[in-house]
Amino acid sequence: SPASPRPRPQAPWERWNMLRRYCEFSQALFVALELTADLPEEDELKRWEGEPVKVLIIPTSIFLSNKKGFPALSRRHQQVVRRFSRFNVQVLLTGRPRHPNGRLVYLQYLKHLHGQIPPRTEDEQFEQPYLDYLQAPLQPLMDNLESQTYETFERDPVKYEQYRKAVVLALVDLVKAQQPDSPAAVAAQVATDGASETAVEDFEPAEGSQPVEAVLMVVGAGRGPLVRASLLAADEVAARLAKVGVPLNVNVYAVEKNPNAVVTLRNLVEMEQWTNVTIVSSDMRVWDAPEKADIMVSELLGSFGDNELSPECLDGAQMYLKEGGVSIPVSYTSYLAPLAAPKLWNEVRNNKFEGLKAMETAYVVKLHNVVQLADTQQCFEFAHPNPDWPNHIDNQRFSVREWTGLGGEQGATVHGLGGYFESRLYGDVFISILPGSPNYSEGMFSWFPLYFPLRNPVYAAPGEKVTCTCDQANHPSPPFDH
């Protein structure tokens, strides 16, 4: 009979995975990786970025000689050393010297190689303390945020610029709806698409032109950055309309329930002369608005889109929006992906105070010593204004996601799920923390991904299917105190 095929030898990661499973995923176990002359494929190298690698062993036998006869690593080996330096690994040189001047020249080369690593950017410096640092998600509806929290988010250079662009687009559409085929509509459009100024110059400014009226509500105004972004957008559109003699009158309501933030908002009204801004100290869901809004602006999103109760809050505030009114954001979608994250999983397991609850909590974290094992998949989606309001408001969602072939021929161990979101603010303006998305917001740090730990890590054998069932449940809320 023909000889049976020889079994494939175990790869280093498979041996490591078997060892830690026998040791019940003990946090006392770490990895020392030894580089060989022939490095494995990229997928094999990538999986080690999610493991607790503490030591990188570099034998002298893999060094080449440069033109001057000194030791040097191949470009691919250099890349491996640099990529693992991000995890603060120790480098261990082994083997007898194969170049003149002993081990010293090898150490000098490795020091030189480390010195070639580019310095951290400003964004990377800001994110450094948050790498793999687990944080409980904010609950701004239940808790009043501290001033320091507001201050951190207000430094975001991307988010509020995106909101400004979105409000500009919404105001332009409002102008075109109120005065279609008019000089005002042409002038407003120039502000967004960069059309030729001659399209505006063809019109003579008219005296006594009918003004464009807009009511804008910022719900959850915080300490004012969204209000400021909205006012800047209004000024931009107003400047265009002024060229054809059409006034733009924007009335802004800033609604905020946090009394400490309200104090700041009222000071801003005086200091920055926000003459068209009314500060409202109230929960957006119970406020008795004197008029309805054309545009409602909010930033109630969490790292998973809906996890800070944005749908419930905006549904409650929708009664203040005019028929045909606009919500910014228009929609947001959450995404999931399986993660290899033993460091994060052990951090959660070590939480002795919370016990089992710790494993059933989602955490905000800047993912670092983590490998995403498969592409993200869409989970939940919400749109505003809610088309079913007020007759049928149902924010329950149910989704089943499946991934197959994690880790290729070796399989993979899943320690949890990564949660992300992408939101369309208005038109073609997005904010996104979704990896690989064309709409990804580079440099935006207001949101880090969510980490959903598994109670026990799951090994997915080669070709095995991993299924995740997601259920967004509604719980009745107690009545408000008016």
pLDDT single digits (tens) 383-405: 999 887 777 778 888 999 999 99
Q: CA nearest 344: which of 116, 123, 133? A: 133
* Secondary structure (3-state) at 254: strand
pLDDT band at 2 (very low <50, low <70, confident <90, very high): low
* Secondary structure (3-state) at 213: strand
Residue-by-residue DSSP string for 81-103: HHHHHTTT-EEEEES---STTTT
Q: Is the pLDDT of residue 68 over 80?
A: yes
Which stretches within 255-327 are classed as H helix? 259-271, 310-317
Q: Is the pLDDT of residue 408 over 80?
A: yes
Residue 300, exposed/middle/buried by CB under 10 A (0-12, 13-18, 19+)? buried
pLDDT single digits (tens) 375-386: 999 999 999 998
d(CA 26, CA 352): 15
pLDDT band at 406 (very low <50, low <70, confident <90, very high): very high
Based on DSSP, count helices (H) and strands (E) in the chain, helices before strands. 14, 19
pLDDT band at 286 (very low <50, low <70, confident <90, very high): confident
Q: Is the pLDDT of residue 312 over 90?
A: no
User: How many residues in total does the chain contain?
Assistant: 482
pLDDT single digits (tens) 34-58: 999 999 999 999 999 999 999 999 9
Contact at 8 Å (CB) between 179 and 240? no
Question: Which residue numbers are catalytic?
Answer: 299, 308
Q: Kindly state the percentage of the chain with pLDDT values over 90.
A: 65
Q: pTM of the entire structure?
A: 0.88
Calculate mean pLDDT across residues 114-121: 89
d(CA 171, CA 237): 7
C-alpha atoms less than 13 angstroms from C-alpha of 285 in its C-beta half-sphere: 14
pLDDT band at 237 (very low <50, low <70, confident <90, very high): very high
Please report the pLDDT score of residue 83 as a whole number: 93
Tokens read off for 227: 């209000």
Q: What is the mean pLDDT of the chain?
A: 88
Please report the pLDDT score of residue 109 as a whole number: 94
pLDDT single digits (tens) 327-383: 999 999 999 999 999 999 999 998 866 778 889 899 999 999 999 999 999 999 999
Beta bridge partners of 475: none
Please report the pLDDT score of residue 200 as a whole number: 45
Please report the pLDDT score of residue 13 as a whole number: 94
Please report the pLDDT score of residue 481 as a whole number: 38
Calculate mean pLDDT across residues 418-446: 95
Dmax (CA) of the chain: 100
Contact at 8 Å (CB) between 226 and 261? no
Q: Is the pLDDT of residue 206 over 70?
A: no
Tokens read off for 84: 């693992």
